[in-house]
Amino acid sequence: MSEAGTFRKIIDSPLWLQILVALGLAAIVGLVVDVDTTILGASVYGILNYFGTLFVNALKMIVVPLVVATIIVGVANMAKQEAFGRVGGKTVGLYIATGLISVVTGLIFVNLVSPGHTESAQLLVDSVSVSSAQATVLEKVEGRSSMDIFEILLRAVPANILQAALEVQLLALIFVGVVFGFFMSRLQGSAGDTLRVFWDGVHDVMIMITMWIMRFAPIGVFALVGKVLIQSGWEAFQPLVWFFLTVFLALAVHFFVWLPLLLKYAGGIRPYAYYGKVLRAQLTAFSTASSSATLPVTLDSAEKAGISRKVTSFVLPLGATVNMDGTALYECVVVIFIAQLYAYTAGVDFTIGQQLIVVFLALVTSIGVAGVPAASLVAIALILPAVGLPVEWIGIVLVVDRLLDMCRTSVNVTSDLTISALIASSEKEELEDLRAA
C-alpha cells in the first residue's frame, strides 16, 4: 500500500482506537525518554508540552460559549415542558447519591488497605521539606479555611457577568444561563423566537468546533500523557505505591462496579454498551485531567449515544462542576491517609466520628472544586486544618497527584454521563441501542 493509503487508513480508523494507540505510545515514550532527552537539538519534553498545551487551549477556548449556550438552550427547552422541577430534583438527588457511594467506597478502601500505616511513614513525612512545586501549591492554599466553602457558593451569583466569563467561573455562568434560559422561554412573539433560534445556532456551531478539535485528540492525548510520564517518572511511586493503589482500586470499583450497576438496575441500560459509546469522553478526561475542558466531548458523545439534548444540556454542564465522585473519593482517601501517617508520629488514629466528618467535608467541598487539573488539592488543603492535620503534608501526595487526577477526572465525567443516561431513561427516552434485551 502506498504511504498516502496507509495515512488515509489511519485517519479513517475510529477515533477511540487512535486515542488508545496514542496512550500506548505515550507510555512507551514515558519509559524511554527523560526530561533532558533531545531530538535534533529540541527537547522532547518541550515539544510534548507545546502540543499538549495547544490541545487543551483549543478545548478551553470553547468552554465559556459552549456552557452558556448549552445551559440556555437546555433550560429553555425544559422550562417549556414543565419538566424542569422534576428533572432538576432527580438530577441533584443522583449527584448526591453517587457522590456518597463514591466517598464511602474510598473510606472503606483506605481503612482496609491502610496505606499510611507503613514502614516508610517517616520517610514520607521527612519528604515534606518544601520543594518548589509544593511551594506553589502551598501558596495557593495558604490562608484558606473551611469558610471558603460558603464563599464558593456565594460566587455562584456573580456581581459582574463579564468578569465571571473572563475568569471562567463556571458555577456563576451556569447560574446566569439558567436564569436567562428560563426567562427566554417565557418571551412571547418574534423576539423570543429569534433569541431561541440564535442560541440553538450558537450551540450547534460549538459542537461542530468540538468535533473538529477532537480530530486532533490522538496527538493531544499522546503529548499530554507522555509529558506527565516523563515528568513524574515511575520511580516516584515506590514509597507511595500502596496509597496509589488504594485510590486506584477504589476509583476502579466505582467506575467498573457501582456506576454500571446503577445504569443496569436503575436505568435498564447495558452499562458497557454505553461506556463503549462514551469512551472518547472518558479518554479525553483521562488525558486532560479536566472535566471542564472535556465538557464539549462529554456533551457530544452523550448525544451520539442517543440521549436527548434536553437532558444532556442540563445534566452535563452542571455535573462537570458540581458532581465530582472521583474527586470526593480522592479527597477522602488523601485526608485519611495523612491522618494515618500522622498517627505514626502522634500515636492516635482518627475515630469513626472524625472519619465521618471527613466524608461530609469531602462531599461538600467536591461541589466547589473547579473542573481543572489539581483542583482537589485546594479542597484537601481546606479539610486538613479543619480536622486538625498539618496542611503542609499535602506535599506528600504531590508526586502522584497528576496520574491520579487523570483517573479521578475520568470517574467524574463518567458519573455525569451515567446520571444523564439515568435521567433520560426515567424520562422515557428510547435509547434503543442501549436497552437491556
Query: Would you say 113 or 289 has its CB closer to ligand ASP?
Result: 289
247 lies in the binding site for ligand ASP (CB under 6 A): no
Which residue carries 471562567 as its cell? 168
Supply the minimum distance, in Å, between the C-beta of residue 405 and ligand ASP.
5
Among 19, 405, 418, 431, binds ligand ASP (CB under 6 A): 405
String of DSSP letters for 310-331: HHHHHHHHHHHHH--HHHHHHH
d(CA 372, CA 287): 12
**Residue 266 · residue 395 · CB < 8 Å:** no
Report, in angstroms and rounded to the nearest whole number, the Rg of the chain calculated over CA atoms: 22
Distance CA 261, CA 191 (A): 46
Grid cell of 230 as nine digits: 516523563
Cβ proximity to ligand ASP: between 240 and 247 the closer is 247
In angstroms, the CA 369 to CA 323 distance is: 9
Q: DSSP H helical segments within 116-240, as ranges?
A: 121-126, 132-141, 148-154, 161-166, 170-186, 189-214, 217-232
Tell me the closest approach of the beta carbon of residue 369 to ligand ASP, in angstroms: 5
Instruction: Find the binder of ligand ASP among 408, 414, 420, 422 (CB under 6 A).
Output: 408
Nearest residue (CB) to ligand ASP, 269 versus 411: 411
Q: Residues 295-324 vs ligand ASP: string with x where CB under 6 A? A: -----------------------------x
Q: Which is nearer to ligand ASP, 229 or 285 (CB)?
A: 285
Alpha-carbon separation of residue 385 from 150, 351, 352, 394 (angstroms): 17, 16, 18, 11
Our CB check for ligand ASP shows the closer of 76 and 334 to be: 334
Taken in order 88, 89, 94, 97, is the CA torsion positive or negative? Answer: positive
User: Could you say which of 290, 312, 340, 418 contacts ligand ASP (CB under 6 A)?
Assistant: 290
Shortest Å distance, C-beta 123 to ligand ASP? 26
Using CB under 6 A as the binding rule, whether residue 372 contacts ligand ASP is answered as yes
CB under 6 A: which stretch of 306-314, 372-380, 382-390, 424-432 binds ligand ASP? 372-380
State in angstroms the smallest separation of the CB of 10 from ligand ASP: 30
Q: Which residues bind ligand ASP (CB under 6 A)?
A: 289-291, 324, 327, 330, 369, 371-376, 405, 408-409, 412
